[in-house]
Every structure is written in C-alpha cells, then in structure tokens.
Amino acid sequence: MFSRKYLIVVLSVASVAMARHHSRKYVTRERSYADQEIRGEPIDVEPQTRAQWEAVAEEDARVGYQADRDRGVKRFQALFKVGYYLPVVTSIVAIAVIWRFVLSPDNGLLNTVLGWVGIDGPNWLASKTWAMPSLIAMAVWRNFGSAMIIFLAGLQGIPESVEEAGQIDGAGPWQRFRYLILPLLRPTVLFTSVTTGIGYLQFFEEPFVMTQGGPLDSTVSVSMATYDQFGFGNYGLATSMAYILFVVIAVITFIQFRLLREK
Amino acid sequence: MRRTWWIYLIGVLGLVAVAAPFLWMVLGSFKTQGELLRVPPTWWPQDATTQNYGDLFSKANFPRYFLNSALVALAVTAGNLVFCSMIGYALAKLRFKGRNALFVLVMATLMIPGMVTFVPLFVLVTNAGLANSYPGLILPFLVSPFGVFLMRQFFLGLPDDLIDAGRVDGTSELGIFARIMLPLTRPALATLGILTFLGSWNNFLWPLVIAQTEDKYTLPVALALYSTGQNAQNYGLLMAGAVVVVVPVLVMFLAFQRHVTKGIAITGLK
C-alpha cells in the first residue's frame, strides 16, 4: 500500500512537471508562429529536421527557466536560487568539517557572532544538550535550498487567477495564503516532507564527521549504529537494523500520506 | 519594489547566513595554525599563507584523492548517460512483453533506503574480489533508477513519428536510438549528467567502506578520515581540504545550475 502510494506521488509529480514543461513548449511555439505570421513569414507547422527539433528542445529548457521568474521576487531571483541551493550540492563531509569550525566553542563563527549580542555560547558539539540541536540546525541550513526549489515549482504551478479571485473576495494576504495557497500546496508539502523524511531518517555523515555519535552516544543515528555494527563485522545485525529502519521509514511515510492526503 | 523591500531584506540576510560558513572556510584556509587558534578569531588572515595548500600535497596525498574522485565521478556519469538513456528509451518507446512490470520494478528500487542494500552489496562486491578497486567503486553506480525514470519521462514526450520515419528510411533500431532520438534528449542528458556527477563526487558511505588503502580514497573519504584521525587538530589543512572538495562542485554547479534546479524541481531527489 505504501509503496504504491509513494510510486503514485513520484509519478504524479513528475507527470505534472512534464505536462507543464510541454504546455510551455506548445505556448512558445504558438507564440512564435504568431510572430512569424505578423512578419509575413511562412509558418512551419511541425519541426521537420533534427536541427529544428533540437531548437525546440533548447527553447524548452530556456522558456522553463524564464517562466520560473514570473512572479514574486523578480529581481535577483536566480542569485537567490543559486545561493540558497549551494549547500545542497556541496559534499556533506566538507560541510560537516566547516561546521565543526563554525561551532567551535572559543573562536567559532557562531559563538563570536553570539558574543556581539552578549550571549556566551556553549561548547555546542561537546554538550549532551546541544550536540543534537546543532546537527539538526546544520541539516536545516543545508537542506533549505532543496525544499525551496520544490516549493517554488509548486507555487508556480498555482495560477495567478486564484489569488486574484481571493483579492476580489476581499481576503487579506494572510487569508489568501492560509485558505487558498496552502491547501493547493498540499501535494508539495507532502512531497517535501516525504522525501526529506526518508533522507534524514538515514542521517549519517553529519554525526560521523562532527561527533562520531558522541558525546555519550547522544548523536548516534540508526545509520550510524548500523555502520558501527558493520565495522565490527556483525553483518547480520547491521542488516537487521537497516531493515527495521526501512520499516520505520515506510510507517512514517504512510502516516505522512494519511495526514496530508486530499480531503 | 515599494512593498517588497522587506522580502529582499530577509532574502539577503538568509543568503548571508548561507554564505558565511563558506566564507569562513575560504578565509580560514589561508590562516596559519596559530591564527586559527586565536581568541577572539580574526576575520581576514593577518599573515596570509598558502602553507595549508602546500601541506595538502606534502603531508597528505590530496592530488591522488582528487584524481580518484574525478575518475570515479566521470566513469559513473558516463555509465549513467549510456545505460539510463538506453533503458529509458526501451521503457518509453519499444513495445515488448513485461515492459510495464519492468518499469514498476525499476521504480520500486527507488524506494529502498541505501542503508538496506549497503551490507548485501558490500558482501557481493567483496566476494567478487572487487574490494579496494576502482571497479568496486564504480560498478554499483553505473546505472540508477532515478536516471532511468528521468530519461523515460523525457523520451515519452518525443513523437513516435520520428521513429517511424527512421524505420521507413531503413535506419537500424540502434541507429534510430543513437542518431535520431538521443540527440533530442540533450536537456535531459545535461540534467542527468550534472546530478550524477555531483552525487558521485559527494558520495561518502560506499567509498568509505570499499576503499581500504589510502591510494583508493576519494576526496570526501580522505577529508572525513583526516578530520577524525590524527590530523583532527590541523585546522588549516582541513579547511584547505574542504576548499578542494567544495570548489569543483561549486564551479560545476554555477556552470550548469539551471539543469540542477530543474532536475530537483522535477524529481525532488538529491
């Protein structure tokens, strides 16, 4: 049941993306025909040669990119996208190494900045209380960009007329977001929470590099424990742990589907 | 701009928070060990040095790790481009028995967490005598269900008429695939190629267990082991090492970023 639903989500998201992708191609081609007509040029109804098909495909990619900046923050949108996305494409190991310095107690970046406002930051990674929140904060920092890109795509899939209708009915910005946009974003929220959940239930590199599971095992994740057992040569135990993780992931994903399904 | 200035403000503050650790890394890689330990820390290197980068060559074997990473990433990317496009084409355009069942099977493997297949795969590769070898690092990743899915979806969007035209003209099936259809999928191939390259370059767990001697380490493995091993206190070396791991990815990403973000929007996968 779980697997089929997951499959459906992956497929539907992809097919929606593909459908939009193709409708854009259609629109552009129509538009360019219209231009040609105005200029009195002959109209070729279908691309005939391979070169033309390639041109259509290239155009496709470019139009898709341009359509991404049609609303909201228009200026520098590419810069924001690239900037926020940077940590996602960077090696987790490199990021974990960098963050160890950022979180270092006496002269780390974070505690220095906190010092400006008079806060005496703790030794983040050596504290049983703060080690896990630190890793989580880093994970949020790192994954922010991928969630942002998915939400951006989801938001751009909502036609502007929806907001206009809300405006006409006198809904304020918050009401429009809460009662119009958010319900329409449900599939995007579901998709993001499912993929992020599956990814971070397998949390491994961060504790491996930053804390080795310490202090006092406070940051040992299932994957970390599995890896340790594997390292001791207990292959059977390691695999059993991984399978239990698989079941837990399946159950949590199922719950997410139940909570976020269309009502 | 009147009512949106605060959105830009929040956006810029967020960008600063994203960029600060990277900036800290680059600046730190040019500081001496003494300066890195100073309290309070310095922002700009007081006496900038390239010593740390020199150490990557002399104290550690980073050029070797770099070449290993590049070799593995290029081989994996090439394999994915070849195999995923072929399987994707077959699943989208060729009619044969069990095609849909095969597709569902491919998609089903997308759902299995990497941790589950990790130990069996390790046993398999080790028993095949491929532990601590380049084939051991490359072979398990030569084709990915995500890539098959991406290519299949793209091929579905191309018209069958092209294939029929090729058949009428007497082109072989392989010729139709390689010379007519494949060139049309260039945007999808670019997305697949860049995502695969980044994924392989950043891959950690598998090379960590399969590369057992130092000469087979990839960059992330080397960096992780240096940062937890006896060099854990050599901060400058680690900062410079992190720069070496991050910069190629940064350059690739900036060059191909629209393919990357588009791929993410389509699949939601990393």
**Whether B107 and A11 lie within 8 Å, measured CB to CB:** yes
Using CA coordinates, name the residue in chain B closest to A82: B257
Domains in chain A with CATH codes: 21-69 (no CATH), 77-260 (1.10.3720.10)
Taking residues A13-29, report their average pLDDT: 42
pLDDT of residue A2: 34
Residues from chain B contacting residue A54 (CB–CB below 8 Å): 183-184, 186
Residues from chain A contacting residue B266 (CB–CB below 8 Å): 13-14, 17-18
Compare CB distances from B108 to A3, A92, A208 and report the shortest one's residue. A3
Give B99-114 pLDDT, tens digit per residue: 999 999 988 888 788 8
pLDDT of residue B75: 96
Taking residues A123-131, report their average pLDDT: 83
Give B20-34 pLDDT, tens digit per residue: 888 888 888 888 877
B152: which 2 tokens?
A: 């299949």
Confidence of residue B263 (pLDDT cuts 50, 70, 90): low
pLDDT of residue B73: 94
pLDDT of residue A12: 43
Q: Say which residue, A158 or A8, is predicted with more confidence.
A: A158
- A31 has pLDDT over 50: no
Compare CB distances from A53 to B37, B184, B242 and report the shortest one's residue. B184
Confidence of residue B78 (pLDDT cuts 50, 70, 90): very high
Confidence of residue A218 (pLDDT cuts 50, 70, 90): confident
Residues from chain B contacting residue A235 (CB–CB below 8 Å): 119, 123
Q: Say which residue, A254 or A51, is predicted with more confidence.
A: A254
- Closest listed residue to residue B202, CA positions, set A209, A220, A192, A141: A209
Residues from chain B contacting residue A50 (CB–CB below 8 Å): 180, 183-184
pLDDT of residue A219: 86
pLDDT of residue B87: 94
- B70 has pLDDT over 80: yes
Residues from chain B contacting residue A3 (CB–CB below 8 Å): 108, 111
Using CA coordinates, name the residue in chain A closest to B5: A73
Tell me how far apart the alpha carbons of residues A38 and A233 are, in angstroms, rounded to a whole number. Answer: 74
Q: Are A59 and A25 in contact (CB under 8 A)?
A: yes
Taking residues B224-231, report their average pLDDT: 80
pLDDT of residue B229: 76
Taking residues B151-180, report their average pLDDT: 90
End-to-end CA distance of chain B: 34
pLDDT of residue B142: 93
Tell me how far apart the alpha carbons of residues B147 and A60 are, in angstroms, rounded to a whole number. Answer: 20
Least confident of A218-232, B177-191, B246-260: B246-260
Confidence of residue B148 (pLDDT cuts 50, 70, 90): very high
Compare CB distances from B21 to A102, A205, A242 and report the shortest one's residue. A102
Confidence of residue B262 (pLDDT cuts 50, 70, 90): low
Confidence of residue B135 (pLDDT cuts 50, 70, 90): very high
Confidence of residue A145 (pLDDT cuts 50, 70, 90): confident
- B191 has pLDDT over 80: yes
Tell me what the pLDDT averaged over chain B comes to: 86
Taking residues B113-136, report their average pLDDT: 89
Å from B148 to nearest chain A CA? 13
Taking residues A216-234, report their average pLDDT: 89
Least confident of B11-20, B44-53, B152-161: B44-53
Å from B114 to nearest chain A CA? 8
- B259 has pLDDT over 80: no
Count the alpha carbons within 13 Å of A222 in the hemisphere toward its beta carbon: 20
Which of A25, A29, A93 to probe the B interface (max B CBs under 10 A)?
A: A93
Q: Say which residue, A178 or A43, is predicted with more confidence.
A: A178
Q: Are A20 and A67 in contact (CB under 8 A)?
A: no
Compare CB distances from B115 to A86, A97, A242 and report the shortest one's residue. A242
Percent of chain B whose pLDDT exceeds 70: 95
**Whether A54 and B183 lie within 8 Å, measured CB to CB:** yes
B190: which 2 tokens?
A: 């670019």
**Whether A50 and B241 lie within 8 Å, measured CB to CB:** no
- B41 has pLDDT over 80: no
Q: Say which residue, A123 or B69, is predicted with more confidence.
A: B69
The DSSP-derived string for chain A is -HHHHHHHHHHHHHHHHHHHHHHHHHHHHHHHHHHHHHTTPPPPSS--SHHHHHHHHHHHHHHHHHHTTSSSS-TTHHHHHHHHHHHHHS-HHHHHHHHHHHT-TTT-HHHHHHHHTT-----GGG-TTTHHHHHHHHHHHHHHHHHHHHHHHHHHTS-HHHHHHHHHTT--HHHIIIIIIHHHTHHHHHHHHHHHHHHHTT--HHHHHHTTT-STTTT--HHHHHHHHHHTT-HHHHHHHHHHHHHHHHHHHHHHHHHHS--
- Closest listed residue to residue A121, CA positions, set B41, B251, B204, B178: B41
Q: Are B135 and B125 in contact (CB under 8 A)?
A: no
pLDDT of residue A263: 63
Q: Say which residue, A115 or A59, is predicted with more confidence.
A: A115
Give A77-92 pLDDT, tens digit per residue: 778 888 888 888 888 8
Compare CB distances from A90 to B227, B235, B246 and report the shortest one's residue. B246
Least confident of A126-130, B87-91, B124-128, B260-264: B260-264
Taking residues A178-192, report their average pLDDT: 87
Which of B18, B43, B180 to probe the A interface (max A CBs under 10 A)?
A: B18
Confidence of residue B3 (pLDDT cuts 50, 70, 90): low
Compare CB distances from B118 to A60, A91, A242 and report the shortest one's residue. A242
**Whether A242 and B20 lie within 8 Å, measured CB to CB:** no
